[in-house]
Amino acid sequence: MISPACCLPGQRGDRNIVVEAVEIELPTSTCRPLGFIANELITNAAKYGEGRISVRLGKGLKGGYALSVSNDGPALPKDFDPAAGKGLGMRIVRSFVARIGGEFLAERAGKDQGARFTVLFS
């Protein structure tokens, strides 16, 4: 487990980024899109969230793997639908998720705080 902490420029106060990952071997055709997806989700967490940002890569509950990015701060609106988002970032994420045959989920991170975005893939 890697747990770097850093202060993101232009943000109020310190921001901690926690990364937890298992070692997995994936084809380049999956790794490249996952890199773009992770970059966009981490950028959004830093831009719209507050507090700690958690990035996790591990085994999924139904087999396969899961990449999730979550942050503290304001919860997602109850009616938030990532499939309906018109922003370029979410469109890119959805496109790359489709490219790897994955599933994209958005939810409240816990106790009505923060946001968690998860990509399930095999």
CB burial class (10 A; 0-12, 13-18, 19+) of residue 3? Answer: exposed
Say how many domains are in the chain: 1
pLDDT of residue 66: 97
Q: Is the pTM of this model over 0.75?
A: yes
Mean pLDDT of all residues in 20-33: 95
Q: Is the pLDDT of residue 112 over 80?
A: no
Mean pLDDT of all residues in 99-111: 86
Using the Cα atoms of residue 95, residue 50, residue 61 and residue 111 in order, give the sign of their dihedral.
negative
Q: State the residue range of the domain holding 25.
A: 5-121
Q: What is the pLDDT of residues 82-100, one digit of tens each?
A: 777 778 989 999 999 999 9
| Beta-sheet strand order (sheet of 103-110) | 5-6, 15-21, 50-59, 65-72, 113-121, 103-110
Mean pLDDT of all residues in 108-115: 74
* H helical segments located in 49-114: 88-99
